[in-house]
Structure 1
Amino acid sequence: MQQIIAAAIQFNVQQGDVEANLSHVRDALARVADRGAQLAVLPELWSTGFAYRTLTELAQRTDAVVAELQELSVRHNLVIVGSQPEPAGDNRVFNTIHVIDRGRIAATYRKLHLFSLLGEDTAFKGGERWCLAETSLGKIGVIICYDLRFPELSRRLALEGADLICVPAQWPKPRQEHWRTLLRARAIENQLPVVAANACGLIGKLDFFGMSMVIDHCGEVLADAGERPGEVLATLDRQAMTAWRAQIPCFADRRPDLY
């Protein structure tokens, strides 16, 4: 597909309240579909938040939530990307993306890099593999929040043929400039579009700034959601990306034998 209308959905995730979060997402998916979206990206752990005390219990509901997302993706003709807790079998959970392509689970990805500063390494179990999902919109690479700080992962996805990268996140204040800079850097260095969905508002003791974005292959911000709940959409052009890569042939000029 030469053009993709991508949407990033941001909202104030209600910690531990699956029904409230799911209700919001149902409505948001309908809104972006009405505006022509083909791809919708949701925040990290959008259904539960980081409800550490009850995460293992909440993770038992994820299969049912994913099943509803599959139905919604068929109804709205969408590819949906967002992460939820998945049972890991040892009183911990995985932070897992399900890439849902019009009813089909095209791929799953478990967050590789755990943010030890906030104790993720004690409550979560890290994944063991990168993920490139084959979808009806092309090859979608996925990473989650803190993964953004590790450029090797995004580069691997680019080298494996990703057409774009999706980033569900819960990235709090005061690191707004890190968020914006790293998202643009991943797009610029890999000559790939990036679609990133962040949470917004107070969640527990943390304040989230939103700034969900759709960024093109040159690193230009096509849409920025600001700090309030809402959805942003923009059109990504694969033909323009191919032309840009021919103009500035970064991949052909690499010297991987030296680094």
Structure 2
Amino acid sequence: MNAGICASAIQFPIVAGDVDANLKQARIAIQRAHTHGAHLAVLPEMWSSGYDYKRLPTLADATPRIAAELSELSANLNMVIVGSMPEKDRGSLYNTAFIHDRGQEVGRYRKLHLFSPMKEDRFLASGDSTLVIATSAGRLGVAICYDLRFPEMFRKLALDGAEVVCLPAQWPSPRQLHWRTLIRARAIENQFFLVATNSCGQLGSLSFFGMSLIVSPRGEFLAEGGEEATEATALLDFADMNAYRKEIPAWHDRRPEIYGTLL
């Protein structure tokens, strides 16, 4: 296990439907995060396209090219890059987080919980599995935006060995209180790091407040983004995480034989 790594939550205003403009923003921000020592970079949800529902099937055609460019960038900068984009597969369209580790695509996670109040479930298919994967930045779990409201999913990521959970999001105003509270709770109750990246700026009728967060297993806010484009960067100390797990032995004290299957 690494003693620790530096991580960046990269937030910027997504330009709806303009893949190349968003790629340019992401590339510049990732390179800037690299200069600040980041080995792990997490981009927002649907960062390449935004939620341009009518054009998503067409915009998804660019995803393989964008993914290949991110993979090359991750190799050149010796980084792990995570972020979600629209993905086409066998006639369905998914909100998929791609994980690139130093030039290799090492995993994909398809969003499990689709946000029905904004009709996400009408335009996208949901995934059918969680993801925890070993990378050069540690064992990463991945969740996307609305997944944050489902604690049982995060407990499974913890049970599967996640040390860091990456959360790309487009979390709109005015739900800042939920954003901060749930991120902190998921990190504390599962004793892992959480790198949560939100978009910022205006996208159609929606306003996004940024405030990307990196939270420790102890619930400390290690880095916070403001409301503008930025890279919130912090050191993730795995040795401290392991010390805290011994200090508060919640995993040892669990009673799964009592809880049973949670439906």
Considering the TM-score relative to the shorter chain, is it more than 0.5? Answer: yes
Shift of 1:15: 0.4
- 1:43 maps to amino acid: P
- 2:23 maps to amino acid: L
Q: Over residues 179-208 of structure 1, what are the superposed CA-to-partner deviations in whole Å (9 max), with x where a residue is unaligned? A: 000000000000111001100010011000
Mapped contact 1:7–1:37 kept (Cα < 8 A): yes
Q: Over residues 59-104 of structure 1, what are the superposed CA-to-partner deviations in whole Å (9 max), with x where a residue is unaligned? A: 01100000000010011111000000001443x4100011100111
Alignment of 1:85-96 (within 5 A): 85-90=86-91, 92-96=92-96
Structure-1 separation of matches of 2:151 and 2:216: 17
Alignment of 1:84-123 (within 5 A): 84-90=85-91, 92-123=92-123
- 2:109 maps to amino acid: Y
- 2:4 maps to amino acid: Q
Shift of 1:226: 1.2
Corresponding position of 1:205: 205
- What are the ranges of 5 or more consecutive residues in structure 1 without an aligned counterpart? none
Corresponding position of 2:234: 234
For the pair 1:184 / 2:181, whether they are aligned, the reply is no
Q: Over residues 16-71 of structure 1, what are the superposed CA-to-partner deviations in whole Å (9 max), with x where a residue is unaligned? A: 00010000011001101011100000000000000001000110110000000001
Secondary structure in structure 1 of the residue aligned to 2:251: coil
Corresponding position of 1:54: 55
Corresponding position of 1:147: 147
For the pair 1:2 / 2:3, whether they are aligned, the reply is yes
Shift of 1:232: 1.1
Moved over 6 A (4+): none
Structure-2 separation of matches of 1:163 and 1:89: 33
Mapped contact 1:99–1:133 kept (Cα < 8 A): no
Mapped contact 1:14–1:21 kept (Cα < 8 A): yes
Structure-2 separation of matches of 1:48 and 1:89: 20
Q: Over residues 138-172 of structure 1, what are the superposed CA-to-partner deviations in whole Å (9 max), with x where a residue is unaligned? A: 21000000000000111101011111100000000
TM-score by length of 2: 0.97
Corresponding position of 1:171: 171
Mapped contact 1:222–1:234 kept (Cα < 8 A): yes
- 1:99 maps to amino acid: I
Mapped contact 1:39–1:78 kept (Cα < 8 A): yes
Q: Over residues 198-228 of structure 1, what are the superposed CA-to-partner deviations in whole Å (9 max), with x where a residue is unaligned? A: 0001001100000101111111101100111
Corresponding position of 1:134: 134
Mapped contact 1:88–1:125 kept (Cα < 8 A): no
Corresponding position of 1:215: 215
- 1:98 maps to amino acid: F
Structure-1 separation of matches of 2:103 and 2:61: 21
Corresponding position of 1:35: 36
Corresponding position of 1:25: 26
Structure-2 separation of matches of 1:63 and 1:30: 21
Structure-2 separation of matches of 1:73 and 1:140: 16
Structure-2 separation of matches of 1:247 and 1:230: 34
Structure-2 separation of matches of 1:96 and 1:104: 16
Corresponding position of 2:17: 16
Identity of aligned pairs, percent? 52
Shift of 1:118: 0.1
Structure-1 separation of matches of 2:193 and 2:101: 19
Structure-2 separation of matches of 1:74 and 1:213: 25
Structure-2 separation of matches of 1:220 and 1:95: 30
CA RMSD of the aligned region, Å?
0.7
Structure-2 separation of matches of 1:202 and 1:10: 13
Shift of 1:136: 1.3
